[in-house]
Amino acid sequence: MTEPSPAPPAGPPDPDPLGPRARHIVDAQAAAFPELGPGTDVAQARRATSAADPDGPAVASVTERRIPGPAGAPELPVRIYRPDGSPAPPVVVFLHGGGFVLCDLDTHDTMCRNLALGSGAVVVSVDYRRAPEHRAPAAAEDAYAALCWAAAELAPAGPPAGRIAVAGDSAGGALAAAACLLARERGGPMPAAQLLLYPSLDPRLETRSMRTYGEGFFVRAAHLRWYWQQYLGSDVPPHRAPPVAAPALAEDLSGLPPARVLVPGCDPLADEGRAFAARLPSAELDEVPGGFHGFLAFTKLLPEAADAMERCTGWLRERLARTA
Protein backbone atom coordinates (compact mmCIF):
# COMPACT_ATOMS: atom_id res chain seq x y z
CA MET A 1 0.00 0.00 0.00
CA THR A 2 1.45 3.35 -0.98
CA GLU A 3 1.58 6.33 1.32
CA PRO A 4 -0.85 9.13 0.41
CA SER A 5 0.78 12.22 -1.03
CA PRO A 6 0.93 15.19 1.36
CA ALA A 7 -1.82 17.74 0.85
CA PRO A 8 -0.69 20.70 -1.25
CA PRO A 9 0.23 23.86 0.65
CA ALA A 10 -2.73 26.04 1.44
CA GLY A 11 -0.83 29.22 0.63
CA PRO A 12 -0.29 32.38 2.67
CA PRO A 13 -3.05 33.20 5.15
CA ASP A 14 -4.90 36.46 4.91
CA PRO A 15 -4.08 38.90 6.45
CA ASP A 16 -0.33 38.44 6.05
CA PRO A 17 1.22 37.49 9.43
CA LEU A 18 4.58 38.93 8.37
CA GLY A 19 5.39 42.53 9.11
CA PRO A 20 6.21 44.83 6.16
CA ARG A 21 9.98 44.60 6.63
CA ALA A 22 9.94 40.81 7.00
CA ARG A 23 7.66 40.49 3.96
CA HIS A 24 10.06 42.58 1.88
CA ILE A 25 12.99 40.35 2.91
CA VAL A 26 11.07 37.13 2.26
CA ASP A 27 9.94 38.21 -1.19
CA ALA A 28 13.43 39.41 -2.16
CA GLN A 29 14.99 36.15 -0.95
CA ALA A 30 12.43 34.03 -2.77
CA ALA A 31 12.93 35.96 -6.03
CA ALA A 32 16.69 35.39 -5.92
CA PHE A 33 16.52 31.74 -4.87
CA PRO A 34 17.07 29.04 -7.51
CA GLU A 35 14.25 26.72 -8.50
CA LEU A 36 14.76 23.26 -7.04
CA GLY A 37 13.29 20.10 -8.52
CA PRO A 38 13.84 17.45 -11.17
CA GLY A 39 16.72 18.42 -13.41
CA THR A 40 18.21 20.95 -10.98
CA ASP A 41 21.91 21.61 -11.56
CA VAL A 42 23.15 21.22 -7.97
CA ALA A 43 26.48 22.95 -8.63
CA GLN A 44 24.68 25.95 -10.09
CA ALA A 45 22.23 26.05 -7.18
CA ARG A 46 25.15 26.06 -4.77
CA ARG A 47 26.79 28.95 -6.59
CA ALA A 48 23.53 30.89 -6.48
CA THR A 49 23.25 30.46 -2.70
CA SER A 50 26.90 30.83 -1.71
CA ALA A 51 27.02 34.52 -0.90
CA ALA A 52 28.65 35.30 2.44
CA ASP A 53 28.07 38.32 4.65
CA PRO A 54 31.38 40.20 4.82
CA ASP A 55 30.27 42.39 7.69
CA GLY A 56 30.05 39.89 10.55
CA PRO A 57 31.15 41.04 13.99
CA ALA A 58 34.79 40.71 14.95
CA VAL A 59 35.92 37.83 17.15
CA ALA A 60 39.32 37.21 18.71
CA SER A 61 40.38 34.68 16.07
CA VAL A 62 39.12 32.57 13.20
CA THR A 63 41.15 29.56 12.12
CA GLU A 64 40.71 26.84 9.51
CA ARG A 65 41.84 23.28 9.96
CA ARG A 66 41.03 19.70 9.03
CA ILE A 67 40.00 17.12 11.61
CA PRO A 68 39.50 13.34 11.43
CA GLY A 69 36.26 12.28 9.78
CA PRO A 70 34.38 9.04 10.38
CA ALA A 71 36.28 5.81 9.85
CA GLY A 72 37.07 5.41 6.16
CA ALA A 73 35.86 8.92 5.28
CA PRO A 74 37.88 12.01 4.34
CA GLU A 75 39.05 14.57 6.86
CA LEU A 76 36.54 17.28 7.72
CA PRO A 77 37.28 20.95 7.12
CA VAL A 78 36.21 23.07 10.09
CA ARG A 79 36.32 26.75 10.94
CA ILE A 80 36.99 27.62 14.57
CA TYR A 81 35.79 30.91 16.07
CA ARG A 82 37.26 32.06 19.38
CA PRO A 83 35.28 34.91 20.95
CA ASP A 84 38.02 36.06 23.29
CA GLY A 85 41.23 34.98 24.95
CA SER A 86 39.71 32.89 27.73
CA PRO A 87 42.01 29.96 28.53
CA ALA A 88 39.32 27.25 28.75
CA PRO A 89 36.08 28.36 27.11
CA PRO A 90 33.17 26.01 26.42
CA VAL A 91 32.67 24.64 22.91
CA VAL A 92 29.74 24.62 20.48
CA VAL A 93 29.83 22.31 17.46
CA PHE A 94 27.76 24.02 14.75
CA LEU A 95 26.13 22.39 11.71
CA HIS A 96 24.95 24.77 8.99
CA GLY A 97 21.61 24.56 7.22
CA GLY A 98 20.93 24.34 3.50
CA GLY A 99 18.73 21.28 3.07
CA PHE A 100 21.72 18.90 3.38
CA VAL A 101 22.64 20.10 -0.14
CA LEU A 102 23.37 23.85 -0.18
CA CYS A 103 25.28 26.41 1.91
CA ASP A 104 28.69 26.08 3.53
CA LEU A 105 31.04 27.61 6.08
CA ASP A 106 30.92 31.01 4.38
CA THR A 107 27.13 31.36 4.22
CA HIS A 108 26.93 30.86 7.99
CA ASP A 109 30.02 32.83 8.97
CA THR A 110 28.10 35.70 10.57
CA MET A 111 25.81 33.33 12.45
CA CYS A 112 28.82 31.53 13.91
CA ARG A 113 30.39 34.82 14.97
CA ASN A 114 27.16 35.81 16.70
CA LEU A 115 26.96 32.43 18.41
CA ALA A 116 30.54 32.69 19.64
CA LEU A 117 30.19 36.23 20.97
CA GLY A 118 26.80 35.66 22.55
CA SER A 119 27.57 32.32 24.19
CA GLY A 120 31.19 32.97 25.10
CA ALA A 121 32.04 29.61 23.54
CA VAL A 122 34.48 28.49 20.89
CA VAL A 123 32.35 27.62 17.85
CA VAL A 124 33.46 24.80 15.57
CA SER A 125 31.63 25.13 12.26
CA VAL A 126 31.70 21.84 10.33
CA ASP A 127 31.95 21.53 6.55
CA TYR A 128 30.16 18.17 6.45
CA ARG A 129 29.66 16.08 3.33
CA ARG A 130 26.58 17.17 1.38
CA ALA A 131 23.95 15.38 -0.67
CA PRO A 132 23.35 14.19 -3.30
CA GLU A 133 27.01 13.19 -3.65
CA HIS A 134 26.86 11.77 -0.13
CA ARG A 135 23.52 10.32 0.98
CA ALA A 136 22.35 9.86 4.54
CA PRO A 137 23.76 9.17 7.01
CA ALA A 138 27.07 10.67 5.81
CA ALA A 139 26.36 14.19 7.11
CA ALA A 140 25.13 12.84 10.46
CA GLU A 141 28.24 10.69 10.81
CA ASP A 142 30.37 13.76 10.09
CA ALA A 143 28.50 15.72 12.76
CA TYR A 144 29.16 12.99 15.30
CA ALA A 145 32.83 12.75 14.31
CA ALA A 146 33.19 16.50 14.82
CA LEU A 147 31.52 16.22 18.22
CA CYS A 148 33.91 13.44 19.26
CA TRP A 149 36.91 15.44 18.08
CA ALA A 150 35.80 18.62 19.85
CA ALA A 151 35.09 16.75 23.08
CA ALA A 152 38.55 15.16 23.01
CA GLU A 153 40.61 18.08 21.76
CA LEU A 154 38.89 21.31 22.77
CA ALA A 155 36.45 20.82 25.64
CA PRO A 156 37.96 21.33 29.11
CA ALA A 157 37.55 18.44 31.51
CA GLY A 158 34.26 18.15 33.33
CA PRO A 159 30.85 16.54 32.97
CA PRO A 160 29.16 15.87 30.63
CA ALA A 161 31.61 15.70 27.72
CA GLY A 162 33.18 18.80 29.16
CA ARG A 163 31.39 22.08 28.52
CA ILE A 164 30.22 21.28 25.02
CA ALA A 165 27.01 21.77 23.05
CA VAL A 166 25.77 21.10 19.54
CA ALA A 167 23.80 23.60 17.48
CA GLY A 168 22.42 23.84 13.98
CA ASP A 169 19.89 25.65 11.85
CA SER A 170 17.36 23.99 9.52
CA ALA A 171 19.00 20.81 8.17
CA GLY A 172 21.84 21.52 10.57
CA GLY A 173 19.34 21.21 13.40
CA ALA A 174 18.61 17.66 12.25
CA LEU A 175 22.35 16.93 12.20
CA ALA A 176 22.81 18.35 15.71
CA ALA A 177 19.98 16.16 16.99
CA ALA A 178 21.39 13.16 15.09
CA ALA A 179 24.79 13.65 16.73
CA CYS A 180 23.08 13.35 20.11
CA LEU A 181 21.25 10.19 19.02
CA LEU A 182 24.53 8.67 17.86
CA ALA A 183 26.28 9.67 21.09
CA ARG A 184 23.57 7.86 23.06
CA GLU A 185 23.66 4.80 20.79
CA ARG A 186 27.45 4.47 20.82
CA GLY A 187 28.23 5.64 24.32
CA GLY A 188 30.10 8.63 22.94
CA PRO A 189 30.48 12.14 24.36
CA MET A 190 27.01 13.47 25.10
CA PRO A 191 26.68 17.25 24.76
CA ALA A 192 25.44 19.29 27.68
CA ALA A 193 22.92 21.05 25.43
CA GLN A 194 21.48 21.11 21.91
CA LEU A 195 20.34 24.30 20.22
CA LEU A 196 17.98 23.56 17.33
CA LEU A 197 17.18 26.60 15.19
CA TYR A 198 14.06 26.07 13.04
CA PRO A 199 15.15 22.43 12.56
CA SER A 200 14.19 20.26 9.59
CA LEU A 201 13.50 16.92 11.24
CA ASP A 202 10.69 15.10 9.44
CA PRO A 203 10.71 14.16 5.72
CA ARG A 204 7.00 13.32 5.71
CA LEU A 205 6.07 17.03 5.43
CA GLU A 206 2.50 16.44 6.58
CA THR A 207 1.98 19.08 9.25
CA ARG A 208 -0.52 21.91 9.38
CA SER A 209 2.26 24.51 9.31
CA MET A 210 3.61 22.88 6.15
CA ARG A 211 0.23 23.31 4.46
CA THR A 212 -0.22 26.86 5.76
CA TYR A 213 3.26 28.29 5.18
CA GLY A 214 4.61 26.00 2.44
CA GLU A 215 4.19 28.73 -0.17
CA GLY A 216 4.88 32.44 0.12
CA PHE A 217 7.24 32.38 3.13
CA PHE A 218 10.61 31.84 1.40
CA VAL A 219 11.26 28.13 2.00
CA ARG A 220 8.75 26.12 -0.03
CA ALA A 221 7.23 22.71 0.64
CA ALA A 222 8.32 21.57 -2.83
CA HIS A 223 11.89 22.58 -2.11
CA LEU A 224 11.87 20.77 1.24
CA ARG A 225 10.65 17.63 -0.50
CA TRP A 226 13.51 17.94 -3.01
CA TYR A 227 16.08 18.39 -0.23
CA TRP A 228 14.94 15.22 1.51
CA GLN A 229 15.00 13.28 -1.75
CA GLN A 230 18.61 14.34 -2.30
CA TYR A 231 19.61 13.35 1.23
CA LEU A 232 17.69 10.09 1.58
CA GLY A 233 17.68 8.97 -2.03
CA SER A 234 14.62 8.41 -4.16
CA ASP A 235 14.38 4.77 -3.07
CA VAL A 236 13.74 5.59 0.62
CA PRO A 237 10.10 6.45 1.44
CA PRO A 238 9.92 9.43 3.83
CA HIS A 239 8.12 7.41 6.52
CA ARG A 240 10.93 4.84 6.50
CA ALA A 241 13.85 7.22 6.84
CA PRO A 242 16.29 6.11 9.55
CA PRO A 243 16.19 8.22 12.72
CA VAL A 244 19.84 9.19 12.29
CA ALA A 245 18.72 10.98 9.12
CA ALA A 246 15.28 12.11 10.32
CA PRO A 247 15.34 12.49 14.12
CA ALA A 248 11.57 13.09 14.28
CA LEU A 249 11.14 9.40 13.38
CA ALA A 250 13.12 8.17 16.38
CA GLU A 251 10.80 6.20 18.64
CA ASP A 252 12.84 6.88 21.78
CA LEU A 253 14.29 10.28 22.65
CA SER A 254 15.18 9.45 26.24
CA GLY A 255 18.65 10.26 27.48
CA LEU A 256 19.15 13.20 25.14
CA PRO A 257 20.46 16.53 26.46
CA PRO A 258 18.37 19.61 27.26
CA ALA A 259 17.34 21.49 24.16
CA ARG A 260 16.20 24.88 23.06
CA VAL A 261 14.10 24.76 19.90
CA LEU A 262 13.58 28.03 18.03
CA VAL A 263 10.33 28.06 16.05
CA PRO A 264 9.41 30.99 13.78
CA GLY A 265 5.64 31.33 13.61
CA CYS A 266 5.52 31.53 9.78
CA ASP A 267 7.82 28.59 9.06
CA PRO A 268 6.56 25.45 7.27
CA LEU A 269 8.78 23.51 9.70
CA ALA A 270 7.24 25.07 12.81
CA ASP A 271 5.01 22.14 13.78
CA GLU A 272 7.71 19.52 13.50
CA GLY A 273 9.92 21.64 15.74
CA ARG A 274 7.10 21.94 18.27
CA ALA A 275 6.40 18.20 18.14
CA PHE A 276 10.05 17.28 18.61
CA ALA A 277 10.45 19.65 21.55
CA ALA A 278 7.37 18.14 23.19
CA ARG A 279 8.91 14.65 23.01
CA LEU A 280 12.35 15.52 24.34
CA PRO A 281 13.07 14.84 28.04
CA SER A 282 13.89 18.51 28.58
CA ALA A 283 13.24 21.27 26.07
CA GLU A 284 12.47 24.97 25.96
CA LEU A 285 10.38 26.09 23.01
CA ASP A 286 11.15 29.61 21.77
CA GLU A 287 8.35 30.71 19.44
CA VAL A 288 8.69 33.90 17.41
CA PRO A 289 5.38 35.18 15.99
CA GLY A 290 5.96 36.71 12.59
CA GLY A 291 9.33 35.01 12.18
CA PHE A 292 10.13 33.06 9.01
CA HIS A 293 12.51 30.26 8.11
CA GLY A 294 16.08 31.54 8.07
CA PHE A 295 15.25 34.85 9.75
CA LEU A 296 18.34 34.68 12.02
CA ALA A 297 20.38 35.67 8.96
CA PHE A 298 18.84 39.15 9.28
CA THR A 299 19.74 40.21 12.81
CA LYS A 300 20.90 43.58 11.44
CA LEU A 301 17.52 44.26 9.83
CA LEU A 302 14.95 42.59 12.08
CA PRO A 303 14.79 43.36 15.82
CA GLU A 304 12.93 40.10 16.40
CA ALA A 305 15.84 38.19 14.85
CA ALA A 306 18.41 40.01 16.97
CA ASP A 307 16.33 39.36 20.08
CA ALA A 308 15.96 35.67 19.25
CA MET A 309 19.71 35.29 18.71
CA GLU A 310 20.36 36.98 22.05
CA ARG A 311 17.95 34.62 23.84
CA CYS A 312 19.44 31.53 22.21
CA THR A 313 23.06 32.44 22.87
CA GLY A 314 22.16 33.47 26.42
CA TRP A 315 20.58 30.06 26.92
CA LEU A 316 23.74 28.36 25.63
CA ARG A 317 25.91 30.47 27.92
CA GLU A 318 23.75 29.57 30.92
CA ARG A 319 23.57 25.83 30.10
CA LEU A 320 27.31 25.52 29.55
CA ALA A 321 28.05 27.44 32.74
CA ARG A 322 26.20 24.73 34.69
CA THR A 323 28.86 22.20 33.76
CA ALA A 324 31.80 24.41 34.66
CB atoms under 10 Å from CB of 52, counted, come to 13
Q: Tell me the β-bridge partners of 165.
A: 92, 193
CB 292 within 8 A of CB 218: yes
Residue 135: exposure state from Cβ atoms within 10 A (0-12, 13-18, ≥19) = middle
Secondary structure letter of residue 98 according to DSSP: S
Neighbours of 3 (CB within 10 A): 11
Residues tagged active-site: 170, 267, 293
To which H or E segment does residue 186 belong? helix 171-186
CB atoms within 10 A of CB 177: 31
> Which of 50, 128, 97 has the alpha carbon at shortest distance from 227?
97
- The amino acid at residue 315 is W
